Amino acid sequence: AQSVTQLGSHVSVSEGALVLLRCNYSSSVPPYLFWYVQYPNQGLQLLLKYTTGATLVKGINGFEAEFKKSETSFHLTKPSAHMSDAAEYFCAVREDFGNEKLTFGTGTRLTIIP
Amino acid sequence: NAGVTQTPKFRILKIGQSMTLQCAQDMNHNYMYWYRQDPGMGLKLIYYSVGAGITDKGEVPNGYNVSRSTTEDFPLRLELAAPSQTSVYFCASSYPSREAKLFFGSGTQLSVL
């Protein structure tokens, strides 16, 4: 069965500092991995996704993530945090085409310190 | 372009009451989903549908029912509301592809008192 674990329910970084949000997955087959962002009182929006090919994927708003099969990880990074990055971030996994279900992690709330 | 529309945005129910959360999408997506979001728990899948007339249970289906009579609509029914169903409910839709992103509605905040 597929699952994701997000380490750290709350992360605080200073404006301009590196953002690192951690995600580890469990899957019996090659996974498809996603990061979604949720701004206050809104639904979720796709930040980026890994399907096949290049293991470093770039998303919107300067975020990127690297798929590391040996570590079963898909951590989200951004070199320089901006106040507008304050939101909740969710990692998600889908196993294969025959599995239509997307399984989400418990989320990480990112706070930006001015 | 409306995307995914959920109604109502807020609702307070008494224990034992019933209600239907409405969800409609105008993108001709085959796949539709209902999730609930609780603090610190992430999103849990309640039910999903891969097309009109086809529905299946997710992780937490107890206490809920769904139907999918058209491609556009995917209502979620609560028959006997319980305090444990207090949550924020999100409807989502996508194309039938493993790479496809989910489009989310803005959510329904439900309190059962």
- Strand order across the beta sheet in which B64-66 lies: B4-7, B19-25, B76-78, B64-66
> How far apart, in whole angstroms, are the C-alpha atoms of residue A22 and residue A31?
17
Question: pLDDT band at A97, cuts 50/70/90?
Answer: low
pLDDT of residue B101: 86
Q: Which of A34, A102, A108 to mutate to test the interface with B (most CBs of B within 10 A)?
A: A102
| A51 and chain B in contact, CB less than 8 A | yes
A37: exposed, middle or buried (C-beta count within 10 Å: 0-12, 13-18, 19+)?
buried
> How far apart, in whole angstroms, are the C-alpha atoms of residue B46 and residue B90?
10
3-class DSSP state for residue A50? strand
| A53 and chain B in contact, CB less than 8 A | no
**Is-contact A75 A66, C-beta < 8 A?**
yes
pLDDT of residue B100: 80
Nearest to A97 among B35, B40, B98 (CB): B98
Chain B residues whose C-beta sits inside 8 Å of any chain A C-beta: 4, 31, 33, 35, 40-45, 48, 50, 58, 90, 92, 96-99, 101-102, 104-107
Question: For chain A, what percent of residues have pLDDT higher than 70?
Answer: 96
pLDDT of residue B36: 96
Q: How much is the mean pLDDT over chain B? A: 93
pLDDT digits (tens, 9 = 90+) for B4-55: 999 999 999 999 999 999 999 999 999 999 999 998 888 999 999 999 999 9
Q: Considering only alpha carbons, which residue of chain A is nearest residue B59? A: A103
pLDDT of residue A98: 61
- Separation of first and last alpha carbons in chain B: 36
Nearest-CA distance A31 → chain B (Å): 10
Name the β-bridge partners of B49.
B32
Question: pLDDT band at A96, cuts 50/70/90?
Answer: low
Task: Give contacts of B104 with chain A, Cβ < 8 Å.
Answer: 43-45
pLDDT digits (tens, 9 = 90+) for A55-94: 899 999 999 999 999 999 999 999 999 999 999 999 999 8
Question: pLDDT band at B68, cuts 50/70/90?
Answer: very high
Name the β-bridge partners of A22.
A7
Amino acid at A75: H
Task: Give contacts of A9 with chain B, Cβ < 8 Å.
Answer: 40
Nearest-CA distance B56 → chain A (Å): 10
Task: Give contacts of A34 with chain B, Cβ < 8 Å.
Answer: 101
| A33 and chain B in contact, CB less than 8 A | no
pLDDT of residue A30: 76
